[in-house]
Amino acid sequence: MHDDDNDFSLTGFVNLETCTLRFAFGEMCVAANQSLSWITVIVDQLTSPLLRTITISLVVDNVEDLRSLNSECAVRELTTAYFDDMRVLDWGAIEKTVSKGSLGSLQKIVLEGQGSRELLTEHIRTTCPTVHSRSLISLVPVKRHPEWMNL
* Whole-number Å distance between alpha carbons of 112 and 140: 5
pLDDT over threshold 50, residue 79:
yes
Q: Per residue in 81-119, pLDDT tens?
A: 999 999 999 999 999 888 877 777 889 999 999 999 999
pLDDT over threshold 50, residue 1:
no
**Which of 49, 24, 27, 45 shows the shortest CA–CA distance to 112?**
24
Q: Per residue in 8-42, pLDDT tens?
A: 777 777 788 999 999 999 888 999 889 999 999 88
The string of DSSP codes covering the chain is: --TTT-----TT-TT-SEEEEEEE-SS-SSTT-GGGHHHHHHHHT---TT--EEEEEEEEE---SGGGGG-TTPPP-EEEPBTGGGGGS-HHHHHHHHHSGGGTT--EEEEEEBS--HHHHHHHHHH-HHHHHTT-EEEEE--SS-GGGG-
DSSP-assigned beta bridge partners for residue 80: 59
